[in-house]
């Protein structure tokens, strides 16, 4: 009942020209595939958004931004506002662990961004996930549950349905050490969906899509997609090669 959703986060990679080339390659590689029951999106860096949007026009591949400020405008040098993204892209990644760790984004900021995205018709991909130390100390459920509660504070049940949550254990990001499918399924189902059920009831929790992210590759996507609670993936490194990302989509779809 939840439509699978696979998104690529290009992070700080690709010039405008390279981004357009990658988008075209991906479009060619996926043509005919993505309309069959799976949502697919790519999230290029800000400067490439407009050009990639043009390159993907008329395709079923959606477009997302990687970050956003919560204010519509103001004296915030270097920031991009929801007004600027409105109409330009469909999705926006919020609270990625790299934003939290490298740029000091707090749960409170993530909550403001989530509200701003929803208020401007942008579909948020909200990232949560524990670090290695927390994982090894057995604190994953408490920490991730807390991140979900903080992010959704004040979000209505109707709005919550629109959010995609990406569970990304930090120790699995860019490390080639993914979680196992079972491990991820426990946190996605028990902790993330469980927390949403406690906040909004089961009806809402059952429609929210939850992705797994962290070293997803063509060879392991099936393990995650085969899990009942996991609805898709947020893919970093492997989304930078059109053939790999297309294979991830195809292999992922085959199990849902
Ligand atoms: P990775 O990144 O696939 O390169 O591990 C995932 C992410 O940060 O979203």
Summarize the confidence of residues 243-254 as an average pLDDT. Answer: 92
CA distances from 187 to 44, 84, 97, 122 (A): 28, 34, 17, 26
Residue 219 confidence (pLDDT) = 96
Residue 119 confidence (pLDDT) = 98
Residue listed under structure tokens 């270097």: 78
Are 45 and 18 in contact by the 8 Å Cβ rule? The answer is no
Work out the pLDDT band at 34, boundaries 50, 70, 90. Answer: low
Are 6 and 231 in contact by the 8 Å Cβ rule? The answer is no
Question: What span, in angstroms and rounded, lies between the C-alpha atoms of 70 and 183?
Answer: 33
Work out the pLDDT band at 31, boundaries 50, 70, 90. Answer: confident
Of the listed 98, 105, 168, 229, which one is catalytic?
A: 168
Are 67 and 96 in contact by the 8 Å Cβ rule? The answer is yes
Of the listed 96, 105, 115, 229, which one is catalytic?
A: 96
Residue listed under structure tokens 């409105």: 86
Residues with CB under 6 A from ligand 1: 9, 168, 173-174, 213-216, 234-238
- Measured from the CA of 237, which atom of ligand 1 is nearest? 4
Residue 253 confidence (pLDDT) = 85
Q: Quote the Cα angle for 161-68-57, to 5°.
A: 75
Work out the pLDDT band at 256, boundaries 50, 70, 90. Answer: confident
Tens of pLDDT, residue by residue over 169-183, are: 999 999 999 999 999
- Measured from the CA of 9, which atom of ligand 1 is nearest? 9
Tens of pLDDT, residue by residue over 85-135, are: 999 999 999 999 999 999 999 999 999 999 999 999 999 999 999 999 999
Angle between helices 242-254 and 16-30 (to 10 degrees): 40
Q: Look up 168 and say whether it is catalytic.
A: yes
DSSP annotation of 238: G
Count of beta carbons in the 10 Å neighbourhood of residue 83? 15
Per-residue exposure over 189-208, b if at least 16 CB sit within 10 Å of its own CB, e if not: bebbbbbbbebbeeebbeeb
């Amino acid at each position: 009942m939840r439509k699978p959703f696979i998104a690529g986060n290009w992070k700080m990679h690709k010039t405008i020209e390279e981004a357009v080339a990658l988008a075209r390659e991906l479009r060619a590689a996926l043509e005919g595939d993505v309309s069959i029951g799976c949502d697919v999106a790519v999230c290029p860096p800000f400067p490439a958004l407009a050009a990639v949007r043009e390159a993907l026009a008329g395709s079923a591949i959606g477009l997302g931004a990687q970050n956003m400020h919560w204010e519509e405008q103001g004296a915030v040098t270097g920031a991009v506002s929801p007004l600027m993204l409105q109409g330009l892209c469909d999705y926006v990644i919020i609270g990625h662990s790299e934003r939290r760790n490298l740029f000091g984004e707090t749960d409170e900021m993530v909550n403001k961004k989530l509200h701003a995205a929803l208020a401007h018709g942008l579909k948020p991909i909200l990232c949560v996930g524990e670090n290695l130390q927390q994982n090894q100390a057995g604190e994953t459920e408490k920490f991730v549950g807390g991140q979900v509660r903080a992010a959704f504070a004040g979000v209505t049940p109707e709005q919550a349905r629109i959010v995609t949550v990406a569970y990304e254990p930090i120790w699995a990001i860019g490390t080639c050490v993914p979680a196992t499918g079972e491990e991820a399924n426990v946190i996605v189902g028990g902790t993330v969906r469980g927390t949403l059920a406690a906040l909004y009831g089961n009806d809402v929790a059952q429609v929210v899509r939850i992705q797994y992210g962290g070293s997803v590759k063509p060879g392991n996507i099936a393990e995650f997609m085969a899990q009942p609670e996991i609805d898709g993936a947020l893919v970093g490194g492997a989304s930078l090669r059109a053939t790999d990302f297309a294979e991830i989509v195809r292999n992922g779809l085959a199990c849902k």
